Amino acid sequence: MHSPSPTRDPLAGKLPVSLITGFLGSGKTTLLKRLLRDPGMNRAAVIINEFGEVGIDHELVASSSEQTTLLANGCLCCSVRTDLQETLRELFIRRRAGEVIDFDRVFVETTGLADPAPVLHTLQTDGMLGAQYRLDCVVTLVDAVNGLRNLDDAPEAAKQAAVADRIVITKGDIAAPGAVESIEARLEEMNPYAARTVAVNGEVEVAFLRDIGPRSARAAAGELERWLAPSGEGHPEGAYLGRRARAGGHDAAIKSFCLWFDQPFTWDGFSAAVQLLTSLRGPDLLRVKGLVNVTGERGPVLVQGAQHVFHPPVTLEAWAGNDRRSRIVFITRNVAQEAIEAVFAAVGALSAQSA
Amino acid sequence: MASTLPGIGARPDQTLALNMKLLSHHELQGFGGIGEGMGMQLARDGRRILWLAHESAPKNFTAVDVTDPRSPRVVVQTELPHAKVRSNSLDVVGDVLAVAYQTSAVNTRPAGFDLFDISTPEKPKLISHFDASGPHSRGVHAVWFVDGEYVHMASGAADFQPTHPSDDQFYRIIDVRRPSKPEEVGRWWMPGTRVGDSAPPPPRHPQFDSGFRAHNTNVFPQRPDRAYVGYISGGAVILDIADKSRPKAVAHWRYSPPYTGFTHTVLPLLTRDLLIVSDECVYNDGKDWPKLVWVVDARVEGNPVPISTFPMPPVGAFAREGGRFGAHNLHENLPVPGSWKSEEIIVGTFFGGGVRAFDVANPYQPQEIAYFVPPAPRLSRAGAIQLNDVYIDDRRLVYTVDRFAGGLYVLEMTV
């Protein structure tokens, strides 16, 4: 048992929210049905919509009405920012009043056309939601039949894959031979930091999608690794390694890379760099997540953001191992790794001078 | 989702939980009505014994071995001599247990407190009895005993004639350094509440008059010259007790009316210059709502300024379930080994609202971070849970008790 802390753990105790996203027809409803029938999910709350899809059918809602809340407001993507916010607030208030079950996690299904970033912003900027909920993960479904074309043609589809923590490839069983391999290669290029799995007849290991984000300021190394680099990227030597953008193939606008920094940051220096980045290229920083070594903090500082909005930083209790370098994953659109490195270098040089 | 209909409210048969997990529940051999006395003994043989004062007769106190929080076990349960006395309050220092006795009528005995030697928890041995009975006294409602030297208490006395019968229990300091011979060394009462005072009797609360009398009388070794006293209708009082024989009021914060009275606990957060002040709900069905927990800025001791209240659970959902609903006891950071201490997380009981934890890191915006509302205990006359008191041990385990029937609930706080 840990020595009892007299303060609140900034992560433990917040209800995890998972965002289920994916282009039209990618199988989100099927996946949700599968998830909800898992015995470990019997206290999940689900926020869904029925726009343009089969929807969570009445059979499912009826059979598990104690567990689900149907958001029958049509297009989530049109009004997601206020409606989802209100729904999450009201769910918590009703939970507190005993009007709904004591749900222990929330799944939010977005519409196929939704840009997931505003939903992430909702969790980051609403104070009440931030006090009660935390983002656990973004799960993106990509179907093996149409997925490749959608990634090329639909900016929303590409963005959904880019911000994912987990990618589920669906419809592999009805796709042309080689389709799964092609889409895997493409996704590896766009977002190698998302772990991928291939659903077979809509079946996915529930554990693959659950408990992804750090759940405690005392998170163990494995838990952080599972969140930050689940595809098993090792610890490269030296700074500025981990370049993952592939040469050749598509002229992909979306790039993913991990920056490593040997020297600790001052918090002022780090936040200045991030502020500069977000003010210059906010819309193109699709997802940023990392562990930062900040001078004077007892453990790594967990940061994550989407576009111009960042979660409040959380200092973890302790470093898990000897490697105390900062590592930050960037998933960007039309922003080269060198450009981001240059910003950090410039801010670092300035703060070194002023120190 | 976005319905405009009022909520249908919690059902008394359901459990509500956020970041608190039930480890065990013990009905205390059918006598599951517990008052507001909870103390932990770290016994010499390594056991953790939780001592509980019963809400009313026939039982006096019960000791529960909670060494294994998943399997609590009663080690002793004692009887009161008759039904016109209740113990309600107790405290433990080392191997000494102090138990209050309050009577339902004046001129009744025992009224006062007992000291027991509990070095063998199974066999509490009476060391002494301090008599506080009298023609106008109902004895002792609450004791505070944390240093092994003094019992601070809300008590009547044989020589004290109140100007109003409800004002009989005032603040008394009893020296127990010779445990076999406790002696009063000081007292304080609100001016005007004793016959013969030069001050006029205080005006009564027009609707909710529960008396101008002491409830919790907290003194911390870190600040030995101060007593923090909830004075029921009289609000919150800070006393200078540097000279125990002459306590002097240095701060007095009154907020009822307009509020509905019954200041219960004044818990200082000494490193933060804050006071956490809890009310007690004493009426059923929300009649005296709101009964709150207040955060008070005490940087200027003589001018306490309330800056926020704990966000309360929805009154519409809980108040009409049965019994009381509103603030009551807090975990008081008891300055004894075995007790958890936090100046950022404050945990309290709210009768039908269960046990609730609040983060006061930002004192202007306390946040509720955990709660547990058990279902109505079997045979409870209230029809809903009525959590009465809470104690947190240094393993961060939360012990909470029902007022009528539910007994002891042991919880893990996961936040």
How high is the mean pLDDT of chain B?
A: 95
Give the helix ranges, DSSP H, for chain A. Answer: 28-36, 58-63, 76-96, 116-125, 127-132, 147-153, 155-162, 179-190, 206-209, 221-228, 267-281, 337-354
Q: A146 and chain B: CB distance < 8 Å anywhere? A: no
Q: How far apart are CA B403 and CA B386, in angstroms?
A: 6
CA A36 to chain B, closest CA, distance in angstroms equals: 20
Kindly state the average pLDDT of the residues B144-155: 98
Q: Does A79 touch chain B (CB under 8 A)?
A: no
Average pLDDT over residues A324-337: 91
Q: Which chain B residues have a beta carbon less than 8 Å from that of A85?
A: none
pLDDT of residue B287: 94
Chain B residues with beta carbon closer than 8 angstroms to that of A312 = none
- When scoring A96, A103, A215, A218 by the number of chain B Cβ atoms within 10 A, the one with the most, hence best to mutate, is A96
Pairing of strands B293-297, B274-279: antiparallel
| Residue A342 one-letter amino acid | A
Which CATH number is B101's domain given? 2.130.10.10
| Count of structural domains within chain B | 1
CB contact (8 A) between residue A5 and residue B394: no
Instruction: Tell me the pLDDT band of A354, cut-offs 50, 70 and 90.
Output: low
Query: Which residues from B are below 8 Å from A94, CB to CB?
Result: 7
* Pairwise CB contact (< 8 Å): B9 & A97: yes
Is residue A46 less than 8 Å (CB to CB) from chain B?
A: no
Q: Is B106 on the interface with A (CB under 8 A)?
A: no
List CB contacts of A181: < 8 A, sequence separation 6 or more: none
A123 and chain B in contact, CB less than 8 A: no
Q: Do B17 and A102 touch (CB under 8 A)?
A: yes
Say if residue A51's pLDDT is above 70. Answer: no
Residue type, B314: P
Q: For residue A231, what pLDDT is reported?
A: 59
Most confident of A265-279, B312-326, B351-365: B351-365
With CB atoms and an 8 Å threshold, state whether A99 touches B8.
yes
Burial class (CB in 10 A: 0-12, 13-18, 19+), A170: buried
Length of chain A: 355
Q: Say yes or no: B396 contacts chain A, CB-CB below 8 A.
A: yes
pLDDT at B396: 96
Given a cut of 60, whether residue A284 has pLDDT beyond it is yes
Q: Are strands A195-198 and A166-170 parallel, antiparallel or unpaired?
A: parallel
For residues B147-160, one letter each, b for 16 or more C-beta atoms within 10 angstroms of the residue's C-beta and e for the rest, the string is beebbbbbbbbeeb
Chain B, nearest residue to A2 by Cα: B395
Report which DSSP code applies to A109: E
B315 φ, ψ (degrees, to nearest 5) = -65, -35
Give, as one character, the DSSP assignment of residue A276: H
CA–CA distance, A160 with A176 (Å, rounded to integer): 23
| A230 band by pLDDT with thresholds 50, 70 and 90 | low
pLDDT tens readout for residues B31-43 = 999 999 999 999 9
The one-character DSSP state at A172 is G
Residue B10, pLDDT score: 64
* CB-CB neighbors (< 8 A) of B342 in chain A: 6-7
Is residue B53 a contact partner of residue B90, using CB atoms and an 8 Å limit? yes
Q: Which residue has the tokens 């509440």?
A: B193
pLDDT tens column, B222-253: 999 999 999 999 999 999 999 999 999 999 99
**Does any domain span residue B373?**
no
Cβ proximity of B32 and B404 under 8 Å: yes
- Residue A175 is given by DSSP the state S
Q: How close is the nearest chain B Cα to the Cα of A99, in Å?
A: 6
A158 in reach of chain B (CB within 8 A): no
Distance, CA of A253 to CA of A283 (rounded, Å) = 13
Could you tell me if A66 lies within 8 Å of chain B, comparing CB atoms?
A: no
In a domain, B3, yes or no: no
Q: Sort out which chain A residues have CB atoms less than 8 A from B2's CB and list them.
A: 83, 86-87, 90
Give the chain A residue whose CA is nearest to the CA of B333: A6
d(CA B133, CA B138): 6
| Gap between the terminal Cα atoms of chain B | 28
**B60, B79 contact by CB (below 8 A):** yes
Question: SS3 sequence, chain B?
Answer: CCCCCCCCCCCCCCCEEECEEEEEEECHHHCCCEEEEEEEEECCCCCEEEEEEECCCCEEEEEEECCCCCCCEEEEEEECCCCCEECCCEEEECCEEEEEEEECCCCCCCCEEEEEECCCCCCCEEEEEEECEECCEEEEEEEECCCCCEEEEEECCCCCCECCHHHCCEEEEEECCCCCCCEEEEEECCCCCECCCCCCCCCCCCCCCCCECCCCEEEECCEEEEEEEECECCCEEEEECCCCCCCEEEEEECCCCCCCCCEEEEEEECCCCEEEEEECCCCECCCCCCCCEEEEECCCCCCCEEEEECCCCCHHHHCCCCCEECCCCECCCCCCCCECCCCCEEEEECECCCEEEEECCCCCCCEEEEEEECCCCCCCCCCCCCEEEEEEECCCEEEEEECCCCCEEEEEECC
Q: Measured between beta carbons, which residues in chain B are less than 8 angstroms from residue A95? A: 16, 18
Which residue of A7, A8, A90 is in closest CB contact with B1? A90
Strands B355-359 and B345-349: antiparallel
Amino acid at the residue A139: V
Residue B192 belongs to a domain: yes
User: What is the per-residue pLDDT for B311?
Assistant: 95
Taking the CA of residue A238 as centre, how many other CA atoms within 13 Å lie in the half-sphere pointing to its CB?
3
- Tell whether A82 is within 8 A of chain B (Cβ): no
* A8–B19 CB contact, under 8 Å: no
Q: Please tell me which of the candidates A1, A86, A96 has its beta carbon nearest to residue B395.
A: A1
Three-class secondary structure of residue A354 per DSSP = helix
Q: Is B121 within the bounds of a domain?
A: yes
Band of pLDDT at residue A79, cut at 50, 70 and 90: very low
Q: Which of A71, A91, A97 sits opposite B314 (nearest CB)?
A: A97
pLDDT surpasses 60 at B318: yes
Side-chain-side CA neighbours of A325 within 13 Å: the count stands at 15
The span from the CA of A200 to the CA of A172, in Å, is: 7
Report the DSSP beta bridge partners of residue B51: B39, B63
Q: State chain A's maximal CA–CA distance in angstroms.
A: 65
Taking each helix axis from N to C end, the angle separating A116-125 and A155-162, rounded to the nearest 10 degrees, works out to 50
Mean pLDDT of B353-376: 96
CA distance B11 to chain A (A): 7
**Which region among A230-244, B164-178, B400-414 has the lowest average model confidence (pLDDT)?**
A230-244
Question: Across residues B335-340, what is the average pLDDT?
Answer: 97
Enter the ipTM. Answer: 0.74
For range B110-127, the mean pLDDT = 98
More confident residue, B97 or A35: B97
pLDDT bin (cut points 50, 70, 90) of residue B341 is very high
Is A69 near chain B, with CB under 8 Å?
yes
A218 touches chain B (CB under 8 A): no
Can you list the domains of chain A with their CATH numbers? Answer: 15-209 (3.40.50.300), 236-354 (3.30.1220.10)
Q: Give the Cβ contact number of residue A199 at 10 Å.
A: 22
Which of B19, B340, B373 is nearest residue A13 as measured by Cβ atoms? B19
In this structure, is residue B342 part of a structural domain? no
pLDDT given for residue A265 in this prediction: 92
| CB within 8 Å: B15 and A95 | no
- Of residues A67 and B353, which shows the higher confidence score? B353
CB contact under 8 A, A7 and B371: no
B372 within some domain: no
Say which amino acid occupies B109. R
The mean-pLDDT minimum among A191-200, A222-231, A266-275, B336-345 falls in: A222-231
Is B281 a domain residue?
yes
Chain B residues lying within 8 Å of A6, measured CB to CB: 340-345
Q: Once rounded to an integer, what is the mean pLDDT over residues B268-282?
A: 98
Query: Are the Cβ atoms of B18 and A8 closer than 8 angstroms?
Result: no
pLDDT interval class at B368 (50, 70, 90): very high
Q: Which residue type occupies A59?
A: E
In a domain, B75, yes or no: yes
Entry pTM? 0.86
Chain B environment of A61 (Cβ under 8 Å) = none
Out of B18, B316, B359, closest to residue A8 by CB: B359
Contact B236, B229 (CB under 8 A): yes
Cβ pair B305, B296 in contact under 8 A: yes
Asked if A6 has any chain B CB less than 8 Å from its own CB, the reply is: yes
Helix residue ranges per DSSP H, A210-336: 221-228, 267-281
Range of the structural domain that residue B152 is part of = 35-323
Residue among A13, A90, A97 whose CB faces B415 most closely = A13
% of chain B residues with pLDDT over 70: 98
